[in-house]
Amino acid sequence: MTAMGVVGVGRIGAALLTRLAAAGHHVIATDIRPERRGVVEKSGAEWARDAVTVAGGSQLLFTVLPGIPELREFALGPALSALGDDAVWIDMTSASVELGEECARRHGSRYLDAPIGGGVQAMRAGTVTLYVGGDPDVLRASTPVLRSFAGKIHHVGGSGKGYLTKLLINLLWFGHATLTTEVLLLAQRHGQRPDRMRELLLGSAGDSAYVGQHLPALLDGDYLRDFGLDRCVEELDSVERSADRAGVPHPLTSAVAELHRTALRHFGPVDGELMATAWLEEQAGIELRGEG
């Protein structure tokens, strides 16, 4: 049996542990917060005192960290050095293409960046989407394990390209969410209820996954609090830096990023992927709700 480890037992990491244990794998796990021990043991995994212990005992290591700073610290720290040369490291954090390239230099071809799409509920259901950068042969060998929690697995190129793909998808989602907010605010000001405007958008040229799948949550007063506003800004900052380095124009990316920075300055690092929408609502003096 392959020895598996998980470093990072937040919302996604805890759901990952449950999926791996349910598939019959023995997993050791840790988190920087010792109070997460109960979550680990409840999932059927074994608690370890630190990341060095987990890495040293793993043939397949998953890291599910909050963001870029934490991943950089892990990549440069003692835990990665404890991982055997033949062990596979699969990171599921949302990070930057540049950091992905650095991680590959640290661990070679047996490192995969595999950020997820779908969120906590999809991980619990075993239907997340993985965007994987790295060696296709390493991915092929790891796929049976990944199938215990992933419904779709896309190989998107070399190291770091999984991160880039996920961040670009997120950028479009943030853009759709904020522009849709502006549309609904203007429509409501002129007497059109938000729920009715959504009906009109569905199937039109203005439709999107956000309108179809996520807007109903906002209309119920839910700002999607599974992810922090500061982490949204971190991702958008990363996309901007990558665009600057690539020398491609990005005026709309910068506008979306600055809107989220403004919301962060106003609300602080609260949970909520739709807090930029909350900021726009506050500026308009309108709340977008199903009943208008």
Query: Tokens standing for 100?
Result: 């992905």
Confidence at residue 290, expressed as pLDDT on a 0 to 100 scale: 86
Q: How many CB atoms lie within 10 A of CB 166?
A: 25
Average pLDDT over residues 197-211: 97
pLDDT surpassing 80 at residue 291: no
Digit-coded pLDDT (tens) for 218-240: 999 999 998 999 999 999 999 99
Cross-strand pairs, 130: 116, 153
Q: Where in the chain is the domain with CATH 1.10.1040.10?
A: 164-284
Dig out the tokens for 75 from the structure: 């990549």
What class has domain 4-159?
Answer: alpha beta
Token readout for 60 is 């397949």
| Per-residue pLDDT, 52 | 96
Give 120-144 pLDDT, tens digit per residue.
999 999 999 999 999 999 999 999 9
Which class would CATH give 164-284? mainly alpha
Predicted confidence at residue 1, as pLDDT, reads 62
Q: Give the residue range(s) of CATH 3.40.50.720 domains in the chain.
A: 4-159
Determine how many CB atoms are found less than 10 A away from the CB of residue 116: 22
Entry pTM: 0.93
pLDDT beyond 90 at 8: yes
